[in-house]
Chain A
Amino acid sequence: MRPDLDYIEHWITNGSHVLDLGCGDGSLLALLHQRKQVTGYGMEIDTQNILACVRQGVDVIHQDLNEGLDDIDDQSFDTVIMTQSLQQTHKPDRIVEEMLRIGKQAIVTFPNFGHWTVRSYLALHGRMPVSENLPYTWYDTPNIHFFTFRDFEVLCRERNIKILERTVVDRNHQANWKINLMPNLMGEIALYHITR
């Protein structure tokens, strides 16, 4: 199981109604259902992932998140989650706004483009960084909007979004003193728990 899911679990209230945007094979929802008795849905664009969800009894809706979430009523979910997909959407700021329109709270996780390896790769090689955590070349990457933790926090400030909690970890989803000291330089993945 992906270790970031463990962190997310702590931010979810028992029995809440949850929407997982880009839910993949449904692991997170299956876990949250089992441990937190949540209800709700995943949204996913990939057919094989959708089939994996259906097989394990996770309710999943086929939806391209870039086409918007207009159909969903305001505040109809307790928590809207998006793990490791925000950087892949056409309008990430719009998605975050929408998550907080349809959900009372949101949980967002994303890779940090401000990590020191990324910064030094670009500085030293003069080329777009490719690493274990960001394995794609610039022309075929699904990650079309790169941003750093600081960028995200600036966005939250500008849009009056309140950050309830933040966890910054390395690629193995471990936190350490270096990350705690200089998160935007040392952290690879951030998990944000936000609300209005």
Chain B
Amino acid sequence: MPTEIPADSVGLIQPQSAFFEEALPLRCGRSLSDYTLVYETYGTLNADASNAILICHALSGHHHAAGFNSVEDRKPGWWDACIGPGKAIDTNHYFVVSLNNLGGCHGSTGPMSQDPDTGRPYGPDFPIIAVRDWVKSQARLADRLGIDCWHAVVGGSLGGMQALRWSIDYPDRLKGCAVIASAPKLSAQNIAFNEVARQAIVSDPDFHQGRYFDHDTRPKRGLMLARMLGHITYLSDSSMREKFGRDLRTGKLNFNFDADFEVESYLRYQGENFSDQFDANTYLLMTKALDYFDPAGDHDGDLARCLSQAHCRFLVASFSTDWRFAPERSQELVRALTRARRQVSYLEIDAPQGHDAFLFPIPEYVALIEGFLGSLATAEGAA
């Protein structure tokens, strides 16, 4: 943590946890007999519980979205740039809830948790969780917190898919839905990248069919490769060129297979760091949730028909250099929403950061989120 907590930070935050005894039936046909959700909240819930905003995290995210968990933390939560007093999601006005999704590895029930049936960690036996299962578990958390209707559900990337799923499955429980840098389903290319990531993990000799804890090891190399690959898809060609160019680590070529270029050492560092903190089974699970997401699938592929169930206002935002979920993918969603005559606004934000742009406080983007959330409070809207 910086020596002083910045004025626009939510400050020191203690994660909380909620235990649910009611079984959760899952899309895969199995169910979780009980489960725990770990979450954080920022800001204050108002008297009629009408100012709550749910933040849904992406593939490698978790509940710690803003502020600091301890004075030793070097960095704040993953979306601290946009959540805090006076920020895009202003905690002076809103009560923000951010949770770790089921299947995660940051405290909520997941592959590292104990399977009540066997007394051992679930590991690879943890059921495959779908986006709709997460949303169902989030709705139960909302019940627990006394939130009948979210002011908005907000998410980027895989988080955007959860926000979209909320609008379909619980149409009366949100006023606004912000789907950022996301897509209504994955393309073959997206799935292909996920498959390479999964293969990197499962082909690591330390993977042991997902039972690595029994062997006192972890598939670190596989997870590192998966993250390196993923990381490339989060950046744009131009942002990598800008950040690394062809800069050499030692100022000269070494004519061996070590990392000559800065970009190589950066990716290795990112991959290694990630593989220390993240669970391989969770990574596999999250990529599957992405691959399986296709809400139109229940409606003969007709996304407009699927979305005609929603009544909230939508905000769809994309970033010009995002090629993982390119602006065209957001436009697909917007097209379906307008066809279904749903209330939607769309902006493609000019930004060099690629897919990662959704994490940055880009002025137009901040103004967009702020404006959208504010308009939900004041009017029913013009459309």
Please name the residue on chain B nearest to A51 by beta carbon.
B367
Q: Which residues of A contact B367 (CB under 8 A)?
A: 51
Would you give the shortest CB distance from A153 to chain B, in whole angstroms? 32
Q: Which of A3-11, A69-77, A162-170 contacts B (4 or more CB under 8 A)?
A: A69-77
Would you give the shortest CB distance from A12 to chain B, in whole angstroms? 13
A55 and B341 within 8 A (CB): no
B338 and A58 within 8 A (CB): no
Q: Mark B330-346, 1 if CB is under 8 A from A, else 0.
A: 01001100110101111
Q: Mark A96-129, 1 if CB is under 8 A from B, else 0.
A: 0000000000000000000000000000000000
Would you give the shortest CB distance from B58 to chain A, in whole angstroms? 23
Would you give the shortest CB distance from B367 to chain A, in whole angstroms? 5
Q: Which residues of B contact A53 (CB under 8 A)?
A: 345
B186 at the interface (CB under 8 A from A): no
A55 and B374 within 8 A (CB): yes
- With A56-B375, A59-B343 as contacts: A72 and B338 at CB distance below 8 Å: yes
Q: Mark A25-63, 1 if CB is under 8 A from B, else 0.
A: 010011011100011110000010011011111111110
Residues of A in contact with B, size category: 20 to 34
A54 and B339 within 8 A (CB): no
- With A29-B382, A40-B383 as contacts: A54 and B345 at CB distance below 8 Å: yes
A73 and B381 within 8 A (CB): no
- With A33-B383, A47-B347 as contacts: A54 and B368 at CB distance below 8 Å: yes
A173 at the interface (CB under 8 A from B): no
Would you give the shortest CB distance from B51 to chain A, in whole angstroms? 17
Would you give the shortest CB distance from A44 to chain B, in whole angstroms? 9
B52 at the interface (CB under 8 A from A): no
A17 and B341 within 8 A (CB): yes
| Contact for B383 among A41, A51, A55, CB less than 8 A | A41
B343 and A54 within 8 A (CB): no
Q: Which residues of B contact A38 (CB under 8 A)?
A: 382
Please name the residue on chain A nearest to B332 by beta carbon.
A71
B86 at the interface (CB under 8 A from A): no
B348 at the interface (CB under 8 A from A): yes
Q: Which residues of A contact B350 (CB under 8 A)?
A: 47
Q: Which residues of B contact A59 (CB under 8 A)?
A: 313, 343-345, 381-383
A60 and B345 within 8 A (CB): yes
Please name the residue on chain A nearest to B377 by beta carbon.
A57
Q: How many angstroms from the CA of A33 to the CA of B349 in the assembled complex?
A: 27
B99 at the interface (CB under 8 A from A): no
Q: Which residues of A contact B301 (CB under 8 A)?
A: none
Would you give the shortest CB distance from A36 to chain B, in whole angstroms? 11
- With A54-B375, A55-B374, A57-B375 as contacts: A33 and B347 at CB distance below 8 Å: no
Q: How many angstroms from the CA of A71 to the CA of B313 in the assembled complex?
A: 21
- With A41-B338, A51-B364 as contacts: A58 and B372 at CB distance below 8 Å: no
A51 and B371 within 8 A (CB): yes
Q: How many angstroms from the CA of A60 to the CA of B339 in the assembled complex?
A: 14
CB neighbors of A among B137-159 (8 A): none
B379 and A57 within 8 A (CB): yes
A73 and B339 within 8 A (CB): yes
Would you give the shortest CB distance from B187 to chain A, in whole angstroms? 18
Q: Which residues of B contact A29 (CB under 8 A)?
A: 382-383
Please name the residue on chain A nearest to B342 by beta carbon.
A59
| Contact for A58 among B364, B374, B382, CB less than 8 A | B382
B339 and A50 within 8 A (CB): no
B307 at the interface (CB under 8 A from A): no
Q: Which residues of B contact A72 (CB under 8 A)?
A: 338
B315 at the interface (CB under 8 A from A): yes
A26 and B382 within 8 A (CB): yes
Most chain-A CB neighbours within 10 Å: which of B349, B376, B382? B382
B216 at the interface (CB under 8 A from A): no
Would you give the shortest CB distance from B360 to chain A, in whole angstroms? 16
Q: Could you list 15 further interchain pairs (A-B, Cβ under 8 angstroms) beyond the known A33-B383, A56-B379?
A: A33-B382, A34-B382, A50-B345, A51-B367, A53-B345, A55-B374, A57-B313, A58-B382, A60-B345, A60-B346, A61-B344, A62-B346, A62-B347, A71-B335, A72-B338
- A residues bordering B, Cβ < 8 Å? 17, 26, 29-30, 32-34, 38-41, 47, 50-51, 53-62, 71-73, 76
A-B contact pairs, 18 of them (CB 8 A): A26-B382, A33-B381, A40-B383, A50-B347, A50-B368, A51-B347, A54-B315, A54-B345, A54-B375, A55-B371, A55-B375, A57-B375, A59-B381, A60-B345, A60-B346, A61-B346, A71-B331, A76-B339
The 3 closest A-B pairs by CB, nearest first: A59-B383, A33-B382, A57-B375
